Structure 1
Amino acid sequence: MDLAYIWYESARLMMGPARLAADMTRHSLQNPTNPLAYSPYARSMAAGCEMFERVTRRYGKPAFGLSETIVDGVTVPVTERVVWERPFCRVITFDRGFLRQPAEPQPKLLLVAPMSGHYATLLRGTVEAMLPNHQVFITDWSDARMVPMTEGRFDLDTYVDYLKDLFRDLGPDLHLMAVCQPSVPVLAAVAVMEAQGSPNVPVSMTLMGGPIDTRRSPTAVNCLAQERGQAWFEKNTISLVPPIYPGAWRRVYPGFLQLSGFMSMNLDRHVDAHSDMFEHLVTGDGDSAEKHRDFYDEYLAVMDLTAEYYLQTVETVFVNHALPKGEMRHRGEPVDLSAIRRCAILAVEGENDDISGVGQTLAALDLTPNLPDARKAYHLQEGVGHYGVFNGSRYRSIIAPRIGAFIREMQALPAAGVPYLRQVG
């Protein structure tokens, strides 16, 4: 499997001339000076050429493209700025050009984006919904194939260290949103900081569709990991980065393999979507075709993960269930969730989530017995799947306002004082 990445890149490069020819043919057939451009035959040929070019290209990292937002009813410009950087991650904040100071204080909110294949821009809608009322930061994880071997390893321990440093550097009064995969390292990082008595513990964390305890309502993804085990994934999914990239010879879980897994989970839906795209191009339905392009330009843009991080996550989260069993360790020290006494928790789940089943994120509230009930909340959103937990109409109209209200409520609460022991039974 070590050479699979090299074979993939070789095949992609060999397809280059055919892809270029298809693109040139498409432009020729769509040229308004071409008398054939308006014929059904030319439309079908051009549509086929575009579909071929799109399914054989490598999609680059998308841009957030958030240029404005509305604050207190006034449209203000938005600009991006990097405020924190390490070899495997940088943090972007979205500065808003206020014409006047907001009527209410704007809490600091760090979105911890998933490091599970897609870029942080997958959370564009998540960011957009929180911008009017928060100073938003987001983790922009690096593509492992672009990080030279001289920068060292990146594993689950490194991930937690990054988070601890971030909480310290962006604090105080920091609130967190962890979308899916980072729920586990975020919860672990907060527990470690609480156990150390750190003054930089965030005020609150919102965990959204996270695999805190995958023994609850296990999904097909959870069962696959449990059945195959870490050794199978190491043998069948890990490859070496080809020498054409800065991260040459780094062991990674390649993005193209992750994408094949994403696609296979809903293959019929993707086939139907591309078939519809072809029809839209032939009939000249530009708006529908553009929506398809926008979605798949984001969905098909994937990044590589370091092998050590990926395999450690599979073993810790999905095979051994180390965090909910109290067996997870960070740098050799136990991760004790009962140490969490100050950082409030909101668990958000989707009724139809087929990645993190209902109850898996809720487990965070049960695993933190010393956190006062006043600092715990839960929201189950009806009618949404995994993606709908952090994007889409129900996220914008229901979930985002609920998160905003929770943040304001926790911001207003006095700091946690004496330890609180929840009565059980």
Structure 2
Amino acid sequence: MPPGITTLAADTPTLSAANTGFMLICSALVMLMTPALAFFYGGMVRVKSTLNMLMMSFISLGIVTILWVLYGFSLTFGTDAGSVIGWSQDFLGLSGIGVNELWDGTTIPVYVFAVFQLMFAVLTPALISGALADRVKFTSWALFITLWVTVVYFPVAHWVWGAGGWLYELGVIDFAGGTAVHINAGAAALGVILVIGKRVGFKKDPMRPHSLPLVMLGAALLWFGWFGFNAGSWLGNDDGVGAVMFVNTQVATGAAMLAWLVYEKIRHGAFTTLGAASGAVAGLVAITPAGGAVSPLGAIAVGAIAGVLCAMAVGLKYKFGYDDSLDVVGVHLVGGIIGSLLVGFFATGGVQSDAKGLFYGGGLDQLGKQAVGVFAVLAYSLVVSAVLALLVDKTLGMRVDEDDEISGIDQVEHAETAYDFSGAGGGAASRTAAPAPGPAAPTNKKVDA
């Protein structure tokens, strides 16, 4: 049998209906995060790019699901090969797995673990899409996702979480994806945008969010789904660690939102809804690797630090001239780095492991391990993602034509628009009817919103 599988027997754990049900619910919550991300990103772009932004997330649900079943689960969690990749014949097509087989000594079926991890694999490339808004061909994006999860996500996830993966064996702590998900996606986003270039009108034209209510809805659904993302990553084990992670997720997110808003008020003079949503996401990102290692007080520190530093980081694109459309680099890459490194300071040694951070008497040992994990994933994802983007660009072409970008990518790529304004202001009758006589007659002038 491949590693990670145990069969039901007297001397092994038995299936827990409670843990199995809990993990299925967590899997559904993580699945919800991808359409939530679509709403979050969709509200942040201009009207003419709304549908394309939604579709760039939604297509990941289709592509990555199929790849995961065919070979992704095997590459990520199969038998280790050289500490860099997995491979197990029984995992191909999920065909060699029995319904009575449990995952790695836990009380949940292998199928449940596989579907839970599938939702992580789906979400991660969708995160990248926010950096590429307004300008990428949909077919090219679909091909990029296919290549990226195969060459980048599956190997990196094995390094971090797979038995025998080199970062796993080194002792890098990543509870739910600070390196494998957020640094991975953020570095990939930076690599791709360096290849494809800036949007037409970057730093010249206003590119404000077209629907802040949609942004807030997406952020709220992400926050909700993140409890499954984080607390579920302990796989329902009955030792209370998942409960600590649940609490820390809430605590850090609240702290980050408040810290972002305070920074924003001091720096720009206003508390914005976009700042609240972005701050919450920054906190969720930062606590993802750290929440199983820190106390609730530590979670407040992690969230507050991430809120301020991520708010500062989103402005770097204007200073350095890279066009990260929706701040994937500033929030996910920077937030993932912050959360991963702060484990080396705030790990108490009393939650998921006995590893202690600098502030709890552990010295610099864990911080050094965290730094290795951070920069290894960052460098690999940045370079390989840029190469993949260049490959796609030289074959299919990554960008739409400049005229199509200006007129609107929704109509060009999807033959649709997000909103139908054809009936706005009344029908034909109202346009042709004569105005009432007298000086008080309405002008019927149309004012653009």
With the shorter chain as reference, the TM-score category is under 0.3
TM-score of the aligned structures, taking structure 1 as reference length? 0.24
TM-score of the aligned structures, taking structure 2 as reference length? 0.23
Q: Which has the higher strand share?
A: 1
Q: Which has the higher helix share?
A: 2
Q: Quick one: higher RCO (CA 8 Å, sep 6+), 1 or 2? A: 2
